[in-house]
Structure 1
Amino acid sequence: MEVLAELEGSIGSVGYGIATIGPGIGVGLVWAAYIQATARQPESAGLTRTYAFLGFALAEALALIGFVAPLVYGT
């Protein structure tokens, strides 16, 4: 049987590429919600900005966990 494709090295980089899709979508949704909330009530921009940065930080933490996990558990 003929080998059509061969993968050498760590598959962790492929896993990280797939894992960044979720946090990327999450960050987009957080900022879209912030923009919509600010457009509806401009006087609440200060309060909602705090929640937007909190949501951004939590979504980015998932991306960092997805980056570190293959490095820690990979061979």
Structure 2
Amino acid sequence: MDVEALKQLGAALAIGFGTIGPGIGIGLIGAKAMEAMGRNPEASGTVQTNMILAIAFAESMGIFALVVALLLKFV
């Protein structure tokens, strides 16, 4: 295998594996937030605010994986 092929493979693996965790995390956050809102509708504003903040933090890990994949691909 040449170096270019290995760079492409590394970039694909980095973005592939790097987004599995945030994807699962966002799904779990959303599911638990919906469960909490269903159990206590009065607190839905607070739950929704905290849910959006947690999703932003989880998504930032996916963005870091994207940056690493782009660095592997183009550098």
**Which interval holds the TM-score relative to the shorter structure?**
0.7 to 0.9
Structure 1 residue runs of 5 or longer lacking an equivalent are 1-5
Deviation readout 1:34-62 (Å, 9 max, x if unpaired): 10100110000001000000011000000
Tell me the residue number matched to 2:47. 48
- How far 1:19 moved relative to its partner? 1.1
Query: Which of the pair has more CA radius of gyration?
Result: 1
What amino acid is aligned across from residue 37 of structure 1 in structure 2?
Answer: A
Tell me the residue number matched to 1:3. none
Tell me the residue number matched to 2:18. 19
Tell me the residue number matched to 2:33. 34
Deviation readout 1:4-34 (Å, 9 max, x if unpaired): xx57242212221111100000000110111
Q: TM-score, normalised by structure 2?
A: 0.81
Give the helix-richer structure, 1 or 2.
Answer: 2
After superposition, the CA RMSD in angstroms is: 1.6
- How far 1:69 moved relative to its partner? 1.6
Aligned residues between the structures: 69
TM superposition outliers: structure 1 runs of 4+ over 6 Å = none
- How far 1:71 moved relative to its partner? 2.5
